Structure 1
């Protein structure tokens, strides 16, 4: 087995601290450990590697999937019951209705498995509960008080750490220096917008064949970095449009890479793909598009709930109102040809409340999703944060893109666009 430093890279301090907490197999460990940090910072990988390498009895459960306490307790007991059972040996399902039953059954299972005198780790007699979270402990601490866990922070990987970890994945048919040069180019493009190790690893694996294409064809050697860069540059620019969104599959992406067309084809492909955004983020994006391309004076016509609720049968008449009633004599150019216009935050929220079926309160969650859309460059913040009249935004996505989003939530956006009346 490889040494831990060759398996768990760039987490030497965290590994050393955890090993000190675990101690020997029969030692009492800390009752609870709370590990937090951003996504893809190595929390789960480090913990699973240490537990498996040290051969410590442990159970790993996903608390998001266990939406009731009964499911959570039963998963712990049944996983623990399978620790020393062979694959061919069937084990009966253990039912657990309450926490009192859990304590009784836990003692029985640990005795049957022969681990009653060892620390059992639940990544969630001596039991150490390890919590892995992206949220700080203060958000979970109950008001009635509790035993404080040992808190450990996993910082984000630096660019040097990412370079070392990603370079460690180099294919055996190429030299380590050649792959390290490729990773250096990849991070030079993506590090400012993406520091998620999983996303970067996905992008590295997806684009490496295009990077080494001149070498395979015999048009360049491994040290001809200038020619290799010219070959990979346009494809990395295309990849910038799919960071975090995962709007196309690997097979679709490879097919697109084989085409020499421009970004227009990527947008066309995006229109038929499913973008993995939160439910309300999709409606926020739709509302932002409507605010960007509809004149302000048409909001009452399209989004006033009193008008819509007054007569449901008027839906057929909805599209028959003449565009000339809104249009000034000099207004002849399509708003889509003029491009998106900035809109204030309160107008965005007003449109959002009108198009969402259920009531949406202006909570921090809604505001944070707007910020996330700005980070993803689907919205653009116009002006400065310190302006007195509040922030203004513009929607930067295409019509095909927003129509694809609208279809996933069964919303016909064309009926609410002024240019299509």
Structure 2
């Protein structure tokens, strides 16, 4: 169990539920939590370490009922490695046949608890309506020592769509805290560097990205990808390992680039590094223009709406009065000094969500002509969302106060602003 970190509480609960091998267990268990919270890792490690008989079903791969039934039955019967010998495989088309075959197979085995694990269990909701209720009470229907475990990214309440459900025992895997993420990330510390140095680097990266991302896999990728840039001055002998200020100056531009591609990678890490190398070293203007292509044709008012969305995403709400209210003045010297003392820019933290009414208020302030609020203007907001230039920050079902995020880069918005002769930097909080 040394491979599992920061999940001691969940491991203890699971061990208590599993009990001894020949004891009757609870009928069903539901494990839920966001992606990369250790659900599958903890469960698989426990089942293998304790040498418990189990079958793990990926509900994405077993996309229909027949595949699901036959996978479970053949795996338990030991036929799964003999897929070529089709004559030996068990055929099953419905739930009644599944229960009958399961009784025959398990009765011939010892009386140890059999664990049936459904990973990505939310896909079971798309199958026949009798599948979920039947698996939840499989122990009762078969009179066998069977323990059904469902692992999902969504809460149990979204599984209830009718009557006849047997409520499972529910375990939540919460998101890792910042301290727990640092502890896990430090497991990848290279041998040539002290753990304290890597811990400080991981804390530095998390101080920027933790606000926008809590996904362990994504954060681990970012930390490993940028560590060589962080240590590059040390390897060249330009700075010492304790000179954190110079190390931060060196890594800051690389972290800015990483923030713009958070969750949006469409290439591998190696391809991303090659892309960055070409971007930094290329002297060919045509290649530079190709890599930084940010031209798109938009209607006139859509351009202003996109500019307003960018300003709403990267300006704090308290600065709207200063930039967009008439006769607002330049603000007090105290507020200007406090702004200079801020260490992290809004662009480093990524886009913030903003309500629709704030977007429209900024739009009407920056557009020169007097625009009547019509349905056409609001439809253009929807078009920007469909083009992935804006994104919904909360559920689309919240009609009263929808919130959005601007998804474009600073270079892109500067290119759009030039087409309408608008000085966008003059209205950005980080550049004033």
When the two structures are superposed, what TM-score results if normalisation uses the length of structure 1?
0.63
The whole-number CA distance in structure 1 between the counterparts of 2:48 and 2:299 is 50
The whole-number CA distance in structure 1 between the counterparts of 2:67 and 2:163 is 25
Please report the RMSD computed on the Cα atoms of aligned residues, expressed in angstroms: 4.7
Q: CA deviation at 1:392?
A: 8.2
What's the counterpart of residue 36 of structure 2? 40
The whole-number CA distance in structure 2 between the counterparts of 1:269 and 1:117 is 63
Q: Is the 8 A contact 1:248 1:270 kept in 2?
A: no
- Which of residues 408, 414, 418 is equivalent to 1:397? 408
The whole-number CA distance in structure 2 between the counterparts of 1:396 and 1:344 is 24
What's the counterpart of residue 186 of structure 1? 205
What's the counterpart of residue 293 of structure 1? 303
Provide the secondary structure at the position in 1 that maps to 2:45. helix
| Correspondence 1:244-323 to 2 at 5 A | 244-258=263-277, 259-260=279-280, 269=291, 292-293=302-303
Q: Is the 8 A contact 1:35 1:130 kept in 2?
A: yes
Q: CA deviation at 1:133?
A: 1.3
Residues 9-67 of structure 1 deviation map (CA, whole Å, 9 limit, x = unaligned): 11111110011000112222211101111222211111111111111111111223333
What's the counterpart of residue 409 of structure 1? none
What's the counterpart of residue 207 of structure 1? 226
- Which of residues 224, 231, 251 is equivalent to 2:243? 224
Provide the secondary structure at the position in 1 that maps to 2:150. strand
What's the counterpart of residue 61 of structure 2? 65
Residues 367-404 of structure 1 deviation map (CA, whole Å, 9 limit, x = unaligned): 9x99992449xxxxxxxx99x9x6686855379989xx
- Which of residues 103, 110, 122 is equivalent to 1:107? 103
| Correspondence 1:4-403 to 2 at 5 A | 4=1, 6-82=2-78, 92-110=88-106, 114=109, 116-124=110-118, 125-258=144-277, 259-260=279-280, 269=291, 292-293=302-303, 347=376, 350=379, 373-375=391-393, 396-397=407-408
- Structure 2 portions without partners, runs of 5+: 119-143, 306-366, 414-418, 421-432
Q: CA deviation at 1:110?
A: 3.5
What's the counterpart of residue 343 of structure 2? none
The whole-number CA distance in structure 2 between the counterparts of 1:238 and 1:248 is 15
The whole-number CA distance in structure 1 between the counterparts of 2:410 and 2:247 is 35
- Structure 1 portions without partners, runs of 5+: 273-285, 296-337, 356-365, 377-384, 403-416
Q: Is 37-46 or 233-242 further displaced after alignment? A: 37-46
The whole-number CA distance in structure 1 between the counterparts of 2:173 and 2:26 is 18
- How many pairs were matched up? 322
Q: 1:144 to 1:287 in 2, by over 3 A?
A: farther
The whole-number CA distance in structure 2 between the counterparts of 1:266 and 1:118 is 65
The whole-number CA distance in structure 1 between the counterparts of 2:412 and 2:71 is 41
Q: Is the 8 A contact 1:25 1:56 kept in 2?
A: yes
Q: Is the 8 A contact 2:79 2:88 kept in 1?
A: no
The whole-number CA distance in structure 2 between the counterparts of 1:205 and 1:180 is 13
Q: CA deviation at 1:121?
A: 1.1
The whole-number CA distance in structure 1 between the counterparts of 2:289 and 2:393 is 19
When the two structures are superposed, what TM-score results if normalisation uses the length of structure 2?
0.62
